[in-house]
Amino acid sequence: MRFSNFLQLSLLTSTTAATASDQAAQEPIHHRLPQRPPPGHLPVMMPAPADDQVQPAVLLIDILGTQRSLTTFFSFSRMHEDTSEPLGDANTNTTVLAPNNIVIEDLPRKPWENPSDYDALGSQAYDGSGGKDRADENLRKFVQAHLVIGTSPWEAGAKVKTAAGTTIWWEAKKDDSGDEKRVIMPDGVEVDRVASRVANGEVWILKGVLNYA
């Protein structure tokens, strides 16, 4: 089975699982008709995107699955223990820099692809079980490039290392309408918004991806 098929499957499976436990707060990866909650059930309300307020009883692992625009990134993060475990660790703060679903879907190079695999192995690079392992490993690095484990809150200008080992920091810039925007450097990726602040960290939604070479 080609890896892309495998991935579709695992995404579908994880979406189904999440839907069962957390019905209305989840949105499938691909567009679906709006669902009615079952009779007698009120829709689960999204936690309000509290600007500066920390939700003290909630962990990243709980909140990330409720962000409709981040289902793809969340699925990827759950594929490996070293990217999912920190999200549930109450003793370590992590800043999650999550590209939204559309950004990931539109990438010219898929998160599980690496040019060096194609250089070494040609177009068959992701076929078969060896291909699946390579793709898995690339996905792990993709998520790691978007996790700052051990830092949250994260001050402007503070240089930190991602779990993939890259050094990043962020700057505040004013956009055309004078609103302040956070930009992750050195890649210059804009932060759409800080979606949640919880007991063990923050989820920032990105409008692009960070270097996952």
Ligand X SMILES: *[C@@H]1O[C@H](CO)[C@@H](O)[C@H](O)[C@H]1NC(C)=O
Q: Which residue is nearest to ligand X (CB)?
A: 93
Looking at beta carbons only, is 19 or 92 nearer to ligand X? 92
Those residues with Cβ within 8 angstroms of residue 191's Cβ, 6 or more apart along the chain or in another chain: 97, 170, 181, 182, 183, 184, 204, 205, 206, 207
Peptide bond into 153 cis (omega under 30): yes
Residue 153 CB, shortest distance to ligand X, in Å, is 6
**Of 100, 43, 20, nearest in space to 67 by CA:** 100
88 binds ligand X (CB under 6 A): no
Enter the tokens of residue 161: 């290392």
153 binds ligand X (CB under 6 A): yes
121 binds ligand X (CB under 6 A): no
Restricted to residues 51-70, the positions that interact with ligand X (CB under 6 A) are: 54
Residue 97 CB, shortest distance to ligand X, in Å, is 16
Looking at beta carbons only, is 53 or 116 nearer to ligand X? 53
Distance CA 104, CA 6 (A): 17
| Binding footprint of ligand X on the chain (CB under 6 A) | 54, 93, 152-153, 197, 199
